[in-house]
Structure 1
Amino acid sequence: MPARVAFFEVEPWEEAYIEGHLDGKFEFAFFTEPLTVDTVELAKGFDVISPFIYSDIDKSVIEQLPDLKMIATRSTGFDHIDLTVCAAGGIEISNVPFYGENTVAEHTFALILALSRKILPSVERTRRGNFDLAGLRGFDLKGRTIGVVGAGSIGQHVIRMAHGFEMNVVVFDVRRDELLAKNLDFKYEDLDELLRISDVISLHAPYNPHTHHMINRRNIHGMKRGAILINTSRGGLVETSALVEGLQNGILNGVGLDVIEEEGLIKEERQLLSHEYTHEKLRIALETHMLLFRDDVIITPHNAFNSTEAVQRILDTTMANIIAFIEGRPQNTVLQAA
């Protein structure tokens, strides 16, 4: 019998694209909902599930899926999946390690340029028929220092683009590759020094217990005064209250965020009445709300990856991962079954 595959968080065009490329090889089901404990019944009986980042595949979900053999997440990150429980159950996990390196890097520079040249207030003012230049003076990127936190595939694209703007580049990464530094013409610094000397700080680190709140209320005061901070990686890297404090005290000149701490909590206002809202989550949500209406803050809705080319690469890689698993030659494995 053909393998049964369930795709969650799927848009209509994605369903058509997948069926067009895998027709006849598998038995499919497509769901617009994320996979959670509330929707787990939909996933029962499937050999493979393919979620995106808003699914919450924890122990309570996995224990109800005895037929599950593989999770093919359509993302680079996999913090929405309980790896420990999957390992115990012999469930293999694959991800999409490379799909939007240039895409996210381009969005990063879109945020940098929008802040450095005050694009949003310029557009909004002009739309009101006001062509006054007062308060709209920006600054050149040429000759400025950009601090790149995380020199993985996305960070490396950012470094290359920064050189195109004739910026100086410093990098913080837990793994130092001096050959890479030589080839891409940058200098490694520890995090505190990077924050002290950088005019632009761009975050491209994974989220884990070691990187939680790596930008926080302590080290925000060590930043170069007037710097701008960009986060297109994971919201939990930055303590929201540190951003509020940094902006209110004039430490930060601007903030560009494609991800926010506890993102997704306020899709509907009635969620505020849910028992799941702790006081801490509510505080973060309200602080984020404060940031939304500042002229020196730009927040985009986790959209950095979202180009036509990148989302197609996500599907192509996911389908290849599923085929490789079924054929007994797994690839892009985060967790490989014994």
Structure 2
Amino acid sequence: MSLKMLIFDYKDAEKKFFKRHQFHDFDIEFFESSLNETTVGNLPQEIKDTASVISVFITSEITPTILEQFPNLMIISTRSTGYDHIDIDACCNKNIKVLNVENYGAHSVVQYTFALMLALVRRLIPALNDSHSFKFDTNNYVGRELNALTLGVIGTGAIGTSVCKIAHAFGMRILAFDYLQRPELTKNYHVEYTEKETIYKEADIITLHVPLTKETQHLITKRELALMKPTAIIINTARGELIESEDLYNALLNKNIAGAGLDVTECEKISLGYGDITEKLENSDKECISKVIITRRLSQLNNVIITPHVAYNTQDSINRILSVTFDSIKDCLQGGHANQVN
């Protein structure tokens, strides 16, 4: 007998994977919508009663109210590394296993991180904007070479480690911070582990590669921004809430730092336009609405690049995510703990 599985946040790029792979042990239904307290009401009761496995992306929001709707749910698998969109305590209380996907972005996210760096350092956006009117002023496109710059890497997990390796290939000086240091980075790639404050003061480019936790929320505020060089650029492809967005906006507006490349923002389910923004704003608190306004203001600055959380978004990465997702689910059903976070 096949297990009932519901896949939410289903994207066109994922359809290619399922055309090439068959999962006869699962009775799968696909939903392009995210799963949240609004959309769960649109599901037939029979589907909610029989679902054993749910797969979501970060655009879904799994709350205790959601879990109450699925009496036979055994597994929630998020097609992401981060799982802050899932109430882990509530899942534990119901003995629901939560699975994630580690390290899928060690290529895609890292490459995108450097795409943002190069676009800002080489003044690509002003040049592209001028190309639309075909009126160029090369005085506005004077950039820097990466080999002449110091990179500060906050977090040297799988993605941060790969960033260090590529930065070394570019000939950059590399400063890094992590509570768990990797000696091989120091030995083979000349990475200098130091304190965060040293990175803020000395780095020309600072890139964030840490998960969102209570300790890392608003890791970067006006205090940290004040320590940075006026020529510094900050890159965030991790989680939007790592940076206090209003402080970042003020620092950029006042030229305390030189630029920002953001693939993630605070309250991004609203600010980056997932779903009906009018409905989402009506159901959001004032603080989140203020973050949306700040994000829109940030997007108007010519030294800021904002993209809608797509650093991971390559066909190769999506295929890896789905492959690991099903391997982990099968392992969990057999009593294993691969990629289990609770």
TM above 0.5, one fold?
yes
> Which piece of structure 1 moves more, 3-12 or 79-88?
3-12
Residue matched to 2:106: 101
Deviation at 1:179, TM superposition (A): 4.3
Q: 1:277 aligns with which of 278, 284, 287?
A: 284
SS of 2:65's partner is: helix
Residue matched to 1:233: 238
Residue matched to 1:320: 327
Residue matched to 1:178: 183
1:246–1:273 CA distance, 2 compared to 1 (3 A)? closer
1:178–1:16 CA distance, 2 compared to 1 (3 A)? closer
Q: Is 2:307 the counterpart of 1:300?
A: yes
1:61-103 per-residue CA deviation (whole Å, 9 max, x = no partner) reads: 1122110011111111111111111111111111110211111
1:227–1:13 CA distance, 2 compared to 1 (3 A)? closer
- Structure 1 runs not aligned, ≥5 long: none
Deviation at 1:328, TM superposition (A): 3.1
- Tell me the amino acid that sits aligned with residue 30 of structure 2: F
Deviation at 1:239, TM superposition (A): 0.4
- Give, in whole Å, the separation in 1 of the partners of 2:16 and 2:185: 41
1:24–1:178 CA distance, 2 compared to 1 (3 A)? closer
Q: How does 1:145-160 map to 2 (within 5 A)?
A: 145-160=150-165
Q: Percent identity?
A: 36
1:295-318 per-residue CA deviation (whole Å, 9 max, x = no partner) reads: 100111101000111011111111
- Tell me the amino acid that sits aligned with residue 265 of structure 1: I
Deviation at 1:19, TM superposition (A): 6.1
1:198-249 per-residue CA deviation (whole Å, 9 max, x = no partner) reads: 0000011110110011100112101122100000000000000121121122
Deviation at 1:180, TM superposition (A): 3.8
Alpha-carbon RMSD across the aligned residues, in angstroms, is 1.7
Q: Is 2:103 the counterpart of 1:135?
A: no
SS of 2:146's partner is: coil
Q: Is 2:209 the counterpart of 1:204?
A: yes
- Tell me the amino acid that sits aligned with residue 29 of structure 2: A
Give me the TM-score of the superposition, normalised by structure 2. Answer: 0.93
1:185–1:235 CA distance, 2 compared to 1 (3 A)? same
- Give, in whole Å, the separation in 2 of the partners of 1:13 and 1:115: 28
- Tell me the amino acid that sits aligned with residue 185 of structure 1: H
SS of 2:211's partner is: coil
Residue matched to 2:28: 28
> Which piece of structure 1 moves more, 57-66 or 278-287?
278-287
Q: 1:286 aligns with which of 293, 298, 307?
A: 293
1:242–1:273 CA distance, 2 compared to 1 (3 A)? closer
1:70–1:19 CA distance, 2 compared to 1 (3 A)? farther
SS of 1:264's partner is: helix
- Give, in whole Å, the separation in 1 of the partners of 2:62 and 2:132: 45
- Give, in whole Å, the separation in 1 of the partners of 2:91 and 2:110: 32
> Which piece of structure 1 moves more, 301-310 or 129-138?
129-138
- Give, in whole Å, the separation in 2 of the partners of 1:23 and 1:213: 41
Deviation at 1:279, TM superposition (A): 2.4
- Give, in whole Å, the separation in 2 of the partners of 1:39 and 1:140: 48
- Give, in whole Å, the separation in 2 of the partners of 1:104 and 1:40: 31
> Which piece of structure 1 moves more, 66-75 or 259-268?
259-268
Q: How does 1:188-267 map to 2 (within 5 A)?
A: 188-266=193-271, 267=273
1:63–1:269 CA distance, 2 compared to 1 (3 A)? closer
Give me the TM-score of the superposition, normalised by structure 1. Answer: 0.94
Q: Is 2:318 the counterpart of 1:311?
A: yes
1:29–1:56 CA distance, 2 compared to 1 (3 A)? same
- Give, in whole Å, the separation in 2 of the partners of 1:327 and 1:175: 32
SS of 1:36's partner is: coil
Higher-helix-fraction structure:
2
- Tell me the amino acid that sits aligned with residue 68 of structure 2: E
Deviation at 1:254, TM superposition (A): 0.9
SS of 2:58's partner is: coil
- The 8 Å contact of residues 15 and 30 in structure 1, kept in 2 or not, is answered as no
> Which piece of structure 1 moves more, 320-329 or 245-254?
320-329
> Which piece of structure 1 moves more, 177-186 or 45-54?
177-186
1:22-72 per-residue CA deviation (whole Å, 9 max, x = no partner) reads: 342211111111111223353512111111111111111112211001111
Residue matched to 1:164: 169
- Give, in whole Å, the separation in 1 of the partners of 2:150 and 2:11: 40
SS of 1:146's partner is: strand
- The 8 Å contact of residues 265 and 271 in structure 1, kept in 2 or not, is answered as no
